[in-house]
Amino acid sequence: MRHTVQTALPQGLALGEDAAGTLAVRLVGDLNASTVARFWEPTLAGVRGRSFATLRIELTQAEYVDGAGLALLVKLRAVGLAAGAKVEIQGLPERYKSLLLLAEKAESPEPAAGAEHCGGLFLRGPCLADVLENLRTLVSFIGECSLVVFDALRQPRRVRWADVLRSALAIGVESLPILILIGFLMGLIMSFQSVITLQRFGGEIYVPNMLGLVMFREMGPLVTAILLAARSGSAFAAEIGTMRVNEELDALTTMGISPVRFLVGPRILSSLAVVPIMTLFFNFASLVGGALVMLSIGFPLVTFTSRVFANVHHADLFGSFVKIMVFSLLVAGVSCLRGLRTGGGASAVGRSTTAAVVSGLILITVADGLFAVLFYYFKI
C-alpha cells in the first residue's frame, strides 16, 4: 500500500513511496515552462537523498510537453539512474517519446564519483575509451575529407572556388614572409654549424650535400607543416569554432547544407594546392642562407649549386611532395574537426584552437616517422 509523503508541495505534484521500494512522482497537467518552474526544485529535492529500487514518473492529463518538460523528465531519469534505481515513465503521450529520446542523447552525463580522470602517465578505463573514440572520430573525419577532395577532382563545378582562392591567399601569401625568413635562418644556422665542425677534417665541401638532402627530404616539409598548424590550423579551428558557438553550423544543417563540404572542403583544397609551393619557397630560402655561409668562407657560388643539384635527386623531391600533401591534409582536417566539435562557453573557442595545434603537431610527428620507415624500405 502506497504511503504518500506529506510535504509542502506545489499543486499538481505528489510524491509517494511504498513498502516495495518504489518512489512515485506524480505530475498533473501539462509540462510547460510555467508548470516546470514550479515543479523543478521540489521534485528534485524530493527525489534526491532517498533510497529506492524503482523510480516511477507518472504523468496525468499531460496533453502538452515542451522542452522544459522534457528537461525535467531527463533530469529525473538521470537522478534515478545515478541512485542505481530502475526508472519508469508512465502517461507520456506517444508523440513525445521520440523527442524524449533525443533529449536524453543530448544530455551530457555527469562524471561518476569514482570515474578516473585522464591524467598521469597511463590511461585506463574511461580515459582509454575516450582516446579510442577520439581516434575513431579523427580517422572517420579524415576519410570524409578525402572523399570531399575526390569529389572536387571529379566534379570541379561543384567547388566554391572563390572560397578556395580566399583561403589560399590566407594560407600561402600572408604566411610567405615568415616562412622565407625561417627557411633562410635555418639554412644559415645549419650551414654555419656544419662548417665549424667539418673544418676540423677539411670537409667543408660536403656542407651543400648535407643541406640539400636535409632540407628537401626532411626539414622543408616538416617545418612548413608545423607553420601551417600553428598559423592556419589555429585560424581554421577558431573560425569554425566561432560559427559553432554562434549556431551558424546548426543553421547550415537545418538548410540541408553539409558543414564539411561547405566549410571544410575549400580549406583543405586550398591547403593541398598552396602548401607544396610554400615548401619550395622554404627550400629555396634555406639554400640561399647556406650559399651565403659558403661564400663567406671562400667557396664560389657555382660550387655550392653544383654540389646541391648533384646530390638531390627526383626521388627526394617526389618524397617531399608526398610528405607535405599528407601533412597538409592531416593538419587542415584535424583543425577543422576541432572547430566543428567546439562546445559552449566563453573559453570553448580557445580550447578548440589549442587542441587543433597540439593534435596537428602530434599527427605531423607520427606521420613523419611512418614516412621515414616507408622510405627506408622502398629505398627512396
The one-digit pLDDT tens for each residue of the chain (380 residues) are: 444 444 466 777 777 777 677 888 888 888 888 888 888 888 888 888 777 888 888 888 888 888 888 888 888 888 888 888 888 888 888 888 888 887 777 665 544 444 444 544 444 445 677 777 777 877 788 778 778 888 888 888 888 889 999 999 999 889 999 999 999 999 999 999 999 988 888 888 899 999 999 999 899 999 999 999 999 999 999 999 999 888 888 888 888 888 888 888 899 999 999 999 999 999 999 999 999 999 999 899 999 999 998 888 888 889 899 999 999 988 998 899 899 888 877 688 999 999 999 989 999 999 999 999 998 888 87
CATH of 3-106, one of 3.50.50.60, 3.90.1300.10, 3.30.750.24, 3.30.390.30: 3.30.750.24
Report the alpha-carbon distance of residue 83 to residue 318 in Å, rounded.
Answer: 61
Please report the pLDDT score of residue 328 as a whole number: 92
Residues 6+ apart with CB under 8 A from 180: 281, 282, 285
* Sheet with 3-4, side-by-side order of all strands: 3-4, 13-17, 22-28, 54-60, 86-90
Please report the pLDDT score of residue 115 as a whole number: 43
Please report the pLDDT score of residue 123 as a whole number: 45
Q: Angle at Cα 297 formed by Cα 291 and Cα 302, nearest 5°?
A: 45
Q: Of the candidates 51, 42, 60, which has an alpha carbon nearest to the alpha carbon of residue 17? A: 51
Please report the pLDDT score of residue 305 as a whole number: 92
Q: Angle at Cα 88 formed by Cα 87 and Cα 92, nearest 5°?
A: 135
Please report the pLDDT score of residue 169 as a whole number: 92
Give the global pTM. Answer: 0.67
For residues 287 and 308, the answer to whether their CB atoms sit within 8 Å is: yes
CATH 3.30.750.24 domain span(s) along the chain? 3-106
Alpha carbon distances (Å) from 191 to 206, 261, 296:
10, 44, 11
